[in-house]
Structure 1
Amino acid sequence: MRIIFFIAIIGICSLFGCHDPASENPVYTDRTIIVYLGVDNNFTGEDREKIESLTQGWDKNFQGRLLIYADPQKPLTGSGDGLPYLTEVVWEEGRAVAKRLKQYPEQNSASPKVFRQVLEEIIGNYPAASYGLIVLSHASGWLPSGTLASPRTIINDGEKDMELWDFAEAIPVKMDFIVLDACFMAGAEVVYELKDKTDYLISSPAEVLVPGFVYRNMMAHLMLEQPDVVAVARDFYDYFNRQSGSMRSATVSVFKMSALEPWVALSRTLLENINGEQQVDLEQIQRFGYGKNKLYFDLGDYIKALHPERFDEFTKMVNDCVIYKAHTPGYYSAGTYSYSAIEAYSGLTIYIPQTEFPYINSVYRRLKWTQRVNPYIPQ
């Protein structure tokens, strides 16, 4: 889920940023970047705003292509048809423009079949040396569809949403990077499910406030021969860290997937058959989440509580994979309309199986993370 401040955010929908190349002479590459805007929900006008920001950030020197699939909110009045469409940002006559390429019939953009078809269509029609993916929608990490009334599992179209494993399976080629502009997508479960789908993952372990990532700056970072994924995350953090009150709320991490296995292997050593709710006081573990739920715990803080003597070793291995992480002093939760302090932050979260969530526990068993780490799960 991405949280919308209906009052406070009204005046903060346009992002202004400076071109910040990774070097004095940036080398751009042949890359097709796909932006998937699953905003057929309560994201009013989000497709237009993001396309405008991406267009403002497009440079004539970029060698690749930028394709945007958008499924906008259905209109409440007669203005607009609300049908999904495909747009390409191109350089024409001395300026960047967004050109509408195609309009689709009404479809469920949270369907794995539709998601894969869109990606395959773009990759087939616009082949490149490499690919990148940016997804904007509501999300709730690995949680199964319908677990929470709000937020929803990744990519939300009205009352429909997509399971994490279906999302991962639907990605047809390995991406240079995936940016998940959605809530709760920096969980260990999410990262491990996507381990074979991308070289780098950029996501947040907590709730993401509108306007989310800084789209105007993104292409200058991501069209580089070596995409500057850290700069994308830093722009996001810097934007929200400059805000005040509840708007000063951001958590973000960048994962290098090739460095995943050492800390996952150590996680198995430290968590295999561990009954966390019996061995530690869950109320004392740093928690991120929607309201008062106990579904997203900081992984590092959990390991520290279980195995304080192994915490430094674990942290070092995690930091080899989490190449950038940042957080504001606290985070905002839409569930309680409250702002909570962040006292521990490893860059990623974990679900601790609990007896009060039998359905969630049953689904948790099928995740690649769970099968690899083998935690204790209550019957």
Structure 2
Amino acid sequence: MMKLFTTYSLTLVLFVALLWGCTKEDGPCPSPAARTLLVYMGADNNLAGDAWSNIGDLVAGLRAAPGNTHTVVYLDTPQGNPRLLEVTADGAKEVYTWPEQHNSASPEVMRGVIERVCRDYPAGRYGLVLWSHGMAWVPSTATDYFTRSRSRAGDGWPATKYFGQDDTPGPRGYLETEDLAAALPDGRFDYILFDACFMASVEVEYALRAKADYIVAAPTEVISDGFPYGDIVGELLAAEPDLKAVCRTYYEHYAQHADARYRSASVSLVRTSELEALCDLKARLWSSALAHDPAVFADFDLAGVQRLDRYRRPFLFDLGSIVSRLETMGAISSAEGDAWRYQAARTVLYEAHTPVFFDLAIGECSGLSGYVPVAAYPDLNAYYRTLAWTVHDQQVDLSNTPPRNN
């Protein structure tokens, strides 16, 4: 796709920034606004070009955005030191540059950026876009799981992205799930939008349930072009944003794309206040399944559920598909399955997905991915048991459940 931000316009923006800065150190700050939108771009990796393209899209979209709002971009790329940009319909203006490079995939850095933006751009409401690479809840040490299967590693597909990777100055840094939760203040944002792969993971969203009222994310990969900011930034800045419309715009942008290679997308809108009830119900259903068969998870047939990643060793599966499979197996009752679907509908307010993501067929998608602690993945299981989503499951050690004797 053609983007609006050119080398010339970037040079002009940075020149204007010398004349038009605003921080606590340098001068008076903007008046309190109705909303401040922070776009946190962890682009100190191979996504830097996409970051500048998306900033250009923000500029274009702000020409029709509500007034009395602030749009601020934290930008960390391989070129130069991290900086803050205030974005308006007139361009992106640099308002602060950190004196040295730092790790944008650090909870301390993220926390400091949020504090600075909320201090310098006070508002009645705040929205947050988290933009970078991402890999759901899976720890960065689980590199054996990040290998594409040979059939899914072919050329011709657009690039995709995931959350929280910083490549320089080194060593490479990542934000693990617990670090991300620690970095974000409780109750500050009314929504979080993940422009990153795989972040509609129930394990991640449960960990962030106190951080925002709503979360927009994709359970699959996200094409590196990202969300169509020119079309959605006005809604993101609204006093009462229609987040279903944001999701729909993102989905249709790719589902109806002129280039058939780009017709791949999934997206969901989650109401975080319902995640606690979903977790409690999951614990009851999992206990019922284990009572029916103590080896139900250890021996779980992963081929029988909808996968949402394209890796050689799949680890992200549709959460609704897992429950349906347990019901089909007789491990949980139809009444328990119905209870799950009722609570899931209260939690996931919007879901849309294309029939395929590149070469991965998506026959069903509930809007949230989940993990099954099978015996074949003992290394992942050990980390999985540390996640808040599993806290009610600690009465049973799922990873060590003995395989069924045939």
TM above 0.5, yes or no, is: yes
Task: Decide whether the 8 Å contact of 1:131 with 1:176 is kept in 2.
Answer: yes
Paired AA for residue 311 in structure 2:
G
Shift of 1:288: 1.0
Residue 164 (structure 1) aligned with residue 177 (structure 2): yes
Q: Which moved more, 1:115-124 or 1:81-90?
A: 81-90
Change beyond 3 A, Cα 1:160–1:342: same
For residue 85 of structure 1, the aligned residue among 70, 83, 86 is: 83
Shift of 1:246: 3.9
Higher fraction of helix: 2
Equivalent residue, structure 1, for 2:254 = 240
Equivalent residue, structure 2, for 1:196 = 210
For residue 101 of structure 2, the aligned residue among 76, 101, 106 is: 106
Task: Decide whether the 8 Å contact of 2:134 with 2:164 is kept in 1.
Answer: yes
Equivalent residue, structure 2, for 1:209 = 223
Task: Decide whether the 8 Å contact of 2:74 with 2:82 is kept in 1.
Answer: yes
Q: Superposition pairs for residues 245-264 of structure 1, below 5 Å?
A: 245-264=260-279
Change beyond 3 A, Cα 1:262–1:323: same
Paired AA for residue 356 in structure 2:
G
Change beyond 3 A, Cα 1:121–1:305: same
Change beyond 3 A, Cα 1:32–1:357: same
Residue 265 (structure 1) aligned with residue 280 (structure 2): yes
Task: Decide whether the 8 Å contact of 2:162 with 2:196 is kept in 1.
Answer: no
Residue 66 (structure 1) aligned with residue 71 (structure 2): yes
Shift of 1:60: 6.3
Task: Decide whether the 8 Å contact of 1:205 with 1:252 is kept in 2.
Answer: yes
Structure 1 stretches of at least 4 aligned residues deviating more than 4 Å after TM superposition: 12-15, 149-153, 373-376
Paired AA for residue 163 in structure 1:
E
Q: Which moved more, 1:351-360 or 1:30-39?
A: 351-360
For residue 147 of structure 1, the aligned residue among 119, 142, 160 is: 142
Equivalent residue, structure 1, for 2:157 = none
Paired AA for residue 342 in structure 2:
K
Equivalent residue, structure 1, for 2:310 = 290
Equivalent residue, structure 1, for 2:399 = 378
Shift of 1:145: 1.9
Shift of 1:298: 0.8
Task: Decide whether the 8 Å contact of 1:280 with 1:305 is kept in 2.
Answer: no
Count residues with an aligned counterpart: 339
CA distance in 2 between partners of 1:341 and 1:48 (Å): 32
Shift of 1:131: 1.0
Equivalent residue, structure 1, for 2:192 = 178
Task: Decide whether the 8 Å contact of 2:300 with 2:374 is kept in 1.
Answer: no
Q: Superposition pairs for residues 23-102 of structure 1, below 5 Å?
A: 30-58=34-62, 59=64, 61-72=66-77, 74=78, 81-90=79-88, 95-102=89-96
SS of the residue corresponding to residue 346 of structure 2 reads: helix
Task: Name the TM-score, length of structure 1 as normaliser.
Answer: 0.84
CA distance in 2 between partners of 1:276 and 1:41 (Å): 41
Shift of 1:14: 5.8
Gaps of 5+ in 2: 6-32, 148-160, 329-333, 401-406
Task: Name the TM-score, length of structure 2 as normaliser.
Answer: 0.78
Task: Decide whether the 8 Å contact of 1:206 with 1:289 is kept in 2.
Answer: yes
CA distance in 1 between partners of 2:61 and 2:303 (Å): 44
Equivalent residue, structure 1, for 2:344 = 318
Task: Decide whether the 8 Å contact of 2:50 with 2:224 is kept in 1.
Answer: no
Gaps of 5+ in 1: 1-10, 16-28, 75-80, 333-338
Task: Decide whether the 8 Å contact of 1:12 with 1:211 is kept in 2.
Answer: no
SS of the residue corresponding to residue 139 of structure 2 reads: coil
Superposed CA offset, 1:51-85 (max 9, x none): 1111111146422211100011x2xxxxxx43211
Equivalent residue, structure 2, for 1:223 = 237
CA distance in 1 between partners of 2:124 and 2:243 (Å): 18
CA distance in 2 between partners of 1:160 and 1:377 (Å): 30
Task: Decide whether the 8 Å contact of 1:120 with 1:172 is kept in 2.
Answer: no
CA distance in 1 between partners of 2:36 and 2:121 (Å): 7
CA distance in 1 between partners of 2:229 and 2:393 (Å): 36
CA RMSD between the two structures = 2.2
Shift of 1:13: 4.5
The alignment-based identity, stated in percent, is 34
Paired AA for residue 359 in structure 1:
D
CA distance in 1 between partners of 2:186 and 2:298 (Å): 42
Shift of 1:376: 4.4
Task: Decide whether the 8 Å contact of 1:154 with 1:163 is kept in 2.
Answer: no
Shift of 1:293: 2.1
Shift of 1:130: 1.5
Paired AA for residue 281 in structure 1:
D
